[in-house]
Amino acid sequence: MNNHLFVTLLLSSAFAVPGMAQQTNSDVSSQPAATASQTSSQGASDRQPVPPDTPKDFWDGDDPNLVNLITHPMANKKYVQRQVGPIRDRINELDQLTSENSKTIKDVDSRAQQGIQLASEKSSLADQHATDASNKAQLAQTAATQASTRVSAAEQMVGNLDQYKGGSQTEIRFRPGQSALSKSAKEALDAMASPLKDQRSYIVEVRGFASGRGQAAIAASQKMADSVVRYLVLTHQVPVYRIYVMSMGNPTATGGAKQASGGRVEVDLLKNDMVSSAQQ
Residue 213 lies in a domain: yes
* Alpha-carbon gap, residue 210 to 265, rounded angstroms: 9
Asked, for residue 252, whether it belongs to a domain, the answer is yes
What pLDDT does 178 receive? 86
Nearest-CA neighbor of 206 among 260, 249, 244? 244
**pLDDT tens over the chain, length 280 residues:** 545 555 455 555 544 544 444 444 444 444 444 444 454 445 445 566 656 655 555 555 556 666 665 666 555 677 677 777 888 888 988 898 999 998 899 889 888 998 898 898 988 899 999 999 999 999 999 988 888 888 777 676 666 556 677 778 899 999 888 889 999 999 999 999 988 888 888 899 999 999 888 899 999 999 999 999 999 999 999 999 999 999 888 887 554 444 456 789 999 998 877 655 555 4
Tell whether 39 is covered by a domain: no
For residue 256, the domain's CATH number is 3.30.1330.60
pLDDT value of position 271: 85
The pLDDT, as a whole number, for residue 272 is 79
| Residue 204: predicted pLDDT | 92
Domain enclosing residue 210, as ranges: 165-279
**79, part of any domain:** no
pTM above 0.75, yes or no: no
Distance CA(23)–CA(266), nearest Å, equals 169
Q: In the prediction, which pLDDT does 22 show?
A: 45
Looking at the domain assignment, is residue 203 inside a domain?
yes
| Any domain includes 210 | yes
d(CA 164, CA 203): 8
Is the separation of the CB atoms in 217 and 250 below 8 Å?
A: yes
Distance CA 192, CA 268 (A): 9
Tell me the C-alpha distance between 55 and 204, whole Å: 142
222 in a domain, yes or no? yes
Domain count within the chain: 1
pLDDT at 227 (0 to 100): 94
* Rounded CA separation 221/209 (Å): 5
Flag whether 89 is in a domain. no
